[in-house]
Structure 1
Amino acid sequence: MKLGILGGSGLYAMPALAGAHRHAQETPWGWPSDVVVEGEIGGLPVAFIARHGQGHVLAPGEINYRANIAALKARGCTAVVSVAACGSFVDELPPGSVAVPHQLVDRTVGRAKSFFGEGMVVHASMGHPVSVELGARIADAARDAGAAVEVGGTYLAIEGPQFATRAESLLAKAQGMTVVGMTAMPEAALCREAEMAYAVAAFVTDFDSWKDEAVTTAAVLEVMAGNVARSQALVEGLCRSLAARPLAVPSAEGWEVALDSAIVTARGHWPVAAAARLRALAPRFFD
C-alpha cells in the first residue's frame, strides 16, 4: 500500500522521508496546495502534501480539497491520514493530547464537496466515514510517541477561519461533539469517492470557547509548536506499522469499493468530458 499524508497546521515537512522527490501534480480539478513530496518512511511508500501550503498561506476555506485528494490518488495512494490541529469539547482531551474520531459532522459552507456532478450523479455512502483500522493504527502510533489518546467520538468540521463563539462552542458540546476543526470535511467525503481509506490524527491545541477562556491564535500556536516533533514521530510509527501489516482488504467500511453501488447515472448517459476527468480518480470504472 501507499500512504497519503496531509500535513496540517504545524506539519509542513517530513524530515524522515527517505529518497524524497517532488512532483508538481496538476489534476483535472486544479493544483493541490503544494507540490507532492514522495519517498519512503519506515519502508512504506508515502506521498506528502502540506495542506495549507508552505508558509501556511491557505485558509481552510481556500484549500483546493479536490485537487489535494486527486493528486494523492494520482500518485498511487490507497489510504490518507490527516494530521490536523483541533479544539476539544471534553476534559479527557486536554491540549497536547490526540483525538482519533470515528464520526464527522459537516458544518462547512461553500466548499466543493464532490468529484461528481455535471451529468454524473453519485451518492457515496458516508455512514462510516473513517477507516476504523487506520484510526486504530494512528492511536497506537500516538501512544508510542508519548501522547494521551482518545479513540472514537465525533469531529465537528466548521467553516472558519474564525474560531467559534462561546455560544456556538457550548451548543456543540451539548450536542455531544468531541473535537472541532476546519479541514476533515470535505477531505473524508472526497477520499470515500476516490475509494481510499481515511482517518484523522487530531492534535488538540485548546478547549475551544466553552471554558472560561476563549481560544486565541497565540495559545494555539504555542501548543502547536510543541506538537510538531510528536506528530512527526506519530507518522513515522504509523508508517512502520503499515509497512509491516497493510490495511486489510476487504475493509469493514468498504472504502475500496465505495463506488460499486454509488453511481446512479446510467453508463450510456455518462458525459464524455466527465468520464475522462474521472479516469485517474476511479480507473476501474472510467478507463
Structure 2
Amino acid sequence: MPLNVNCKKTNVYFLCKIGIIGGTGLDDPDILEGRTEKYVDTPYGKPSDALILGKIKNVDCVLLARHGRHHTVMPSNVNYRANIWALKEENCSHVLVTTACGSLREEIQPGDLVIIDQFIDRTTKRHCTLYDGQHSSLPGVCHIPMAEPFCTKTREVLIETAKKLGLQCHSKGTVVTIEGPRFSSRAESCMFRSWGADVINMTTVPEVILAKEAGMSYASIAMATDYDCWKEHEEAVSVDKVLKTLKGNANKATSILLTAIPQIGSMEWTNTLHTLKTTVQCSVILPKQ
C-alpha cells in the first residue's frame, strides 16, 4: 500500500476522495449519487461490508458500514485494519466517521454532537497497527506519534459546518474507547470522568490509529445518545434509549457530511497530506537486511 498523496491536481484545486465510515444509525448509502458496490479483500481479511462508491456534489466518496449494513459485527470483531486498508487502496485521502457515544459531562446532552480531538484507549483485544510483522503486512515496526490523533484542519471544517447549520456541537472532547460490547459499570463511568474523558464509545480505537498509519486525514463526529450510567436520577444507558436518540442524531451528522464534503473537496490539502505521509515514513523502523 503506497503512502502517496491522494489528491489529483487540476487547474483549480486538488480533488480529494473521501472515505466515510458510518457507525450505528448512519450507514445509509442513499447519501451518495451514482452508487456502485465493490466487494474487496485485503491482506488483513475482508472489510465489514461492501464498499459503496459514489459522489456527494461531484466529490468522489467511498462509504463503508463499520458494523455491516445489517449491524452484524460487534465492536470488538470489526476488522478495523481491513476497513482502513480498503479505503486506502481506493485512494481515499480523508476518512470521515460517525460514532455513537455516551456523555460523561453534564454539558454534553443527549442529541449533541462532539468533534472529538483526543482519545483514551481502554481496549484489550484489537489489532492496533498495520505493521504487525506478518508476511502479508507492511514491513517494519511503526511507532506512530499520537499527540494529535485527529486531523486538525478537517476537524475545523466539521466544526464550522455544524455552526453554520445551527447544530449543538462541541468543538473538542476526549473519548474513552472501551472494549464492549457491554456498557460500563457505574464505578467505571465515574472513573472515566475523573480521568478527564468527555464521552465514551467502543470504536474510535484502533480506527484512528490505523488511519494515521495509513497517512490519511481522519476526523470523527461523535453523537451523544445518553449519559452512560454515572448521572444520578438519570435513566442508565440501554440499547433502546441509544437507538431512539440515534435517529435524530443521524440526520444531524448526515447534514454535516453533505455540507462539509464539498468544502473539503474544494480545499488545498497537499501540505497536510504530505505531512501525514512524512510522519509515517519517519515512524517506521525497517528490519535490518
TM-score normalised by L of structure 2: 0.88
Cα distance in structure 1, aligned partners of 2:73 and 2:163: 30
Secondary structure at 2:270's aligned position in 1?
Answer: coil
Q: Deviations over 1:131-166 (max 9, x none)?
A: 011111112223344420111221111111111111
Do residues 174 (structure 1) and 189 (structure 2) align? no
More displaced, 117-126 or 8-17?
117-126
Q: 1:189 aligned to 209, 220, 223, which one?
A: 209
Secondary structure at the aligned position of 1:125 is classed as: coil
What stretches of structure 1 of length at least 5 have no aligned partner? 270-287
Runs (4+) of structure 1 moved beyond 4 Å? none
- Code of the residue aligned with 2:280 in structure 1: it is L
Q: Which amino acid aligns with 1:240?
A: P
Q: Which amino acid aligns with 1:49?
A: L
1:49 aligns to what? Answer: 64
Comparing 172-181 with 225-234, which one deviates more in the overlay? 225-234
> 8 Å contact 1:130–1:198 — kept in the other structure?
yes
The match for 2:276 among 246, 251, 255 is 255
Per the TM alignment, residue 235 of structure 1 is displaced from its structure 2 partner at its CA by 1.1
Equivalent of 1:4 in 8, 19, 24: 19
Equivalent residue number for residue 222 of structure 1: 244
SS for the counterpart of 2:124 is coil
Which residue of the partner structure matches residue 281 of structure 1? none
Query: Distance between the aligned counterparts of 1:50 and 1:20, measured in 2?
Result: 14
Aligned amino acid, residue 239 of structure 1: I
2:214 counterpart letter in structure 1: A
Identity of aligned residues (%): 33
8 A contact 1:14–1:232 mirrored in 2: no
1-side partners of 2:173 and 2:163: how far apart?
Answer: 18
What is the count of residue pairs matched by the alignment? 267
Gaps of 5+ in 2: 1-15, 134-138
| 2:80 maps to 1:65 | yes
Paired with 2:161 and 2:194, the residues of 1 have a C-alpha distance of 31
Task: Tell me the equivalent position of 2:106.
Answer: 91
Preserved CA contact (<8 Å) 2:21 2:27: no
**Does 2:286 correspond to 1:265?**
yes
Contact 2:117 2:150 survives alignment (8 Å): yes
Counterpart mapping for 1:132-171 below 5 A: 132-171=152-191
Q: Secondary structure at the match of 2:83?
A: helix
Deviation at 1:120, TM superposition (A): 2.2
Give the distance between the partners of 2:19 and 2:43, measured in 1 at CA: 19
Tell me, in whole angstroms, the C-alpha distance in 1 between the residues paired with 2:202 and 2:274. 24
Q: Residue 202 of structure 1 is aligned with which of 193, 214, 222?
A: 222
- Secondary structure of 1:170's counterpart equals helix
Question: In the alignment, is residue 35 of structure 1 matched against residue 57 of structure 2?
Answer: no
Q: 1:252 to 1:67 in 2, by over 3 A?
A: closer
Q: Distance in 2 between matches of 1:16 and 1:144?
A: 20
Choose from 1, 8, 13 the match for 2:28.
13
Distance 2:120 2:53 in 1: 31
Shift of 1:254: 3.1
- Does residue 1:125 correspond to 2:167, yes or no? no
CA contact (8 A) 1:41 1:236 kept: yes
What CA distance in whole angstroms lies between the structure 2 residues aligned with 1:164 and 1:145?
Answer: 33
1:240 aligns with 2:255: no
CA contact (8 A) 2:48 2:65 kept: yes
TM-score by length of 1: 0.89
Per the alignment, residue 116 of structure 2 pairs with: 101
Q: Any idea what SS the aligned residue of 1:210 has?
A: coil
SS in 1 for 2:210: helix
Q: Which residue of 2 aligns with 1:78?
A: 93
